[in-house]
Amino acid sequence: MRPAATWLFVPGNGPRRFAKAAAAGADAVVIDLEDAVRPEDKDTARAETLRWLSEGGQAWVRINAAGTPWFDADVDAVAGASGLLGVLVPKAEDPAALAALSARLGTAVVALVETAAGLHRVHDVAAAPGVTRLAFGALDLAADLGADDTAEAMLFARSTIVLASRVAGLPAPIDGVTTVIDDADAVTAAARYARSLGFRGKLCIHPAQIEPTARGLAPGADEIAWARAVLRAAEGSAGAVTGPDGRMIDKPVLDRAHAILRS
């Protein structure tokens, strides 16, 4: 099964938006108890999230980070909820804590790598029992590093997360949010850039981002045409073959062509 590509956040204190988010067409819906909810609204968000998950709704939940005043209450609230698909853990840094959380909840954990310490330990985080995927929080990491949230500044972090996912045998990771909402071309371009680095998912903050994000994460028409041409050229050949771009077709080229057509 193809890993979820589009992950749509919905604030935990906006229960009237839960059903709309579920019907918006994203591969995964994430009820957010963290950044989207003010401290004074945490209790309400927690209660509304539990109600939704206990009355037939299904979603992932982004809980508050370990070490915050809300972490334990978040975990207690969602533990055993019938509609809980898994949790997104912000500021993921401690592999043992992630493993313990997964065991406590009996569910999957997506580790959000968005601090210097988390990036430094990302290979251990990716290998922690219960962690099923990595996600990237570029805005938080940029703030932690005192860096700009630009493609160039965040390139090392993104590539490191992709590498850690591959080494740990996890699905390709989920890229962070794009703050532009009304410019579909910009959203698609951001998703396409993430795909070019090895990401195969992206966090979305508005339903309008779902379709352009999915388009950017999917192989383009030119990629598909190239992959089909490569496979046609190599079919039935026992020796060296030249592909449509004039380059020799060897196993890595064939593997890439098959991967494009599977995605």
- Beta-carbon contacts of residue 92 (< 8 Å; ≥ 6 apart): 98, 111, 112, 113, 114, 118, 125
- The beta strands (E) that lie in 84-166 are given as 84-89, 108-113, 131-136
Cross-strand pairs, 242: 248
Instruction: Answer for the pair 111, 135: CB distance below 8 angstroms, yes or no.
Output: yes
Yes or no: say if 111 and 89 are a contact pair by the CB < 8 Å rule. Answer: yes
CB 105 within 8 A of CB 85: no
CA dihedral 32, 38, 43, 46 (to 10 degrees): 0
Buried b (16+ CB within 10 A) or exposed e, 187-211: bbebbbbbbebbbbbbbbbbbebbb
pTM of this structure: 0.88
Tokens of 102: 């997964």
pLDDT tens-digit profile, the chain (263 residues): 678 999 999 999 999 999 999 999 999 999 999 999 999 999 999 999 999 999 999 999 999 999 999 999 999 999 999 999 999 999 999 999 999 999 999 999 999 999 999 999 999 999 999 999 999 999 999 999 999 999 999 999 999 999 999 999 999 999 999 999 999 999 999 999 999 999 999 999 999 999 999 999 998 767 777 778 777 777 766 566 777 777 777 777 877 777 777 77
Q: Report the alpha-carbon distance of residue 56 to residue 58 in Å, rounded.
A: 7
